[in-house]
Structure 1
Amino acid sequence: MQPNPWRTRAAGLAIALGLLLAAPTPAQEAAPQAPSIEALQAELEQRAQQVTALLQALNARNLRIAELEAELAAKTTRISQVEAAAAALFAQRDALRQELEQVKAERDALQAQVAALTEELEAAQENAQQSTARVEELEAQLAEAQALAEELERLQAERDQLQAALEEARSQAGRAPELAAQLEALQAEHARVQAALEEAQARLAALEGTASRASRSLEAVADELELALNLARALLSAYPLPPGETVASAEAGVLEAQLLAAQRIADKLANARGLYTVQAGDSLSSIAAFFYRDATRWTDILEANRGVLEDPDRLEPGMVLVIPR
């Protein structure tokens, strides 16, 4: 600790006062004879005044020293308080810096999450747009299939009328010339109906062209028609016409076989509600829930597609199914 300058000065004044009292006066040095009482009293009073002045100065100095010491203690206390406050502020600053770094790290993580969520949202929006386009495409296909079913139903009605006319013509075999003309007209009408039917089948095949395996049910029906025609021709070859029966009536028999086979095709399509292309993740129950709002009707879809579905639990994307009414 450094010495207090005020205390050093006070000690110096006390030493000077002692030396002053002990030192001989000039009168004592000049006159070796004994001083008089008056001279001694005067000198004593002079020395007393000097002592009083020195004591007053010393007291003033001591008072100033006490004030300065109090001020120094206050400043020391203040410095300690300021240092403590500064240490607290530094600690708070360090804590805030650490918290700031943590907040920055959290901000960066949140920005990364926002970027990832934004990408997911954009992908979801794109998928939603694609799904909407697919739904619109399926609805258009369904509408076209329903229109085709209505057209096939109309063709079926015309075919029934044609078959009734053929039966009436066969019942009136005695009217050969007239029947031949009617048969020719009926054959022409049948050709027109058959062409319309083939056109409808072609449109249906084009609608189902996106999935080759979906056409197996229609191919099976076509095989039935071809088998029926071949059977009719084989029967005509194996069993010659009896005497009196014209070639026209044989052609009518072939025509009847063709009409019966075509009727089977029309019956399958006319009773259908529409067509559906299987998507990834589909099942018969989910398709039934979509079309009928009843998942338990999956057995109806299975029954209508026996020629296509080998395993009802294994649906492959792209497969086209007939949806019954």
Structure 2
Amino acid sequence: MSEMLTPLRERCTRLSSFPYLLAAGLLAISMSAASWAQQDDEGEPEAAAADQAEQTDAEPSEEAEAVGQDAAALREELEARERELRNAQRELSALRARLPAEEGGELDLDGALRSASVTLGAIRSTRAELMRAGGRDAALEESIDELIAELEREQRLVARAQDANLYRVQRGDTLAAIAGRFYGNRQRWEEIHEANRHVLPNPDLVWPGLTLVIPR
């Protein structure tokens, strides 16, 4: 995930310089318009005086129309680039929040624990919604799968911060069975439960697909 930070940073840098380039373009167009106006003012006084009334009501010249169109196009482009820059900055901030400090992020152990707990709550609420829908809803099932994958990523960060192992629960597993597999002692299941209280309040309610942190 950390390799995604570099292209995002470069993207933000490029986008942040774009408004200055557009501003320079708008300034150049404005100066050109002023120069045309000055050239018109320096024309023959007699002709200017004779045509003044007509010019007041006349349609804008083709040059002025072109300048206005170019300026409007540049403003639209500037607004689009600014929106893109804001989106890129939000993506970068979100990515940093999910990475540990050693990989250029801002996530600490407490943050990883909270994030995993929130994701578990989302899994539960989505499953409850699926049950209300009769147990068959492709969109909800897809959302649950995505949330379970997200929980695994967050538990991986927790395990990394604690120098622990990971285990994905299989059908029929219990904490005692998992403890026996990792420690050779089924009585050490409480250690596993303690390390996963943020996603497993009840030690008897393990479910297939749940990713557990296994202390060494």
Who wins on radius of gyration, i.e. which is larger? 1
- Shared fold per TM-score greater than 0.5: no
TM-score by length of 1: 0.21
TM-score w.r.t. length of structure 2: 0.31
Higher relative contact order (CA 8 A, sep 6+): 2
More helix by share: 1
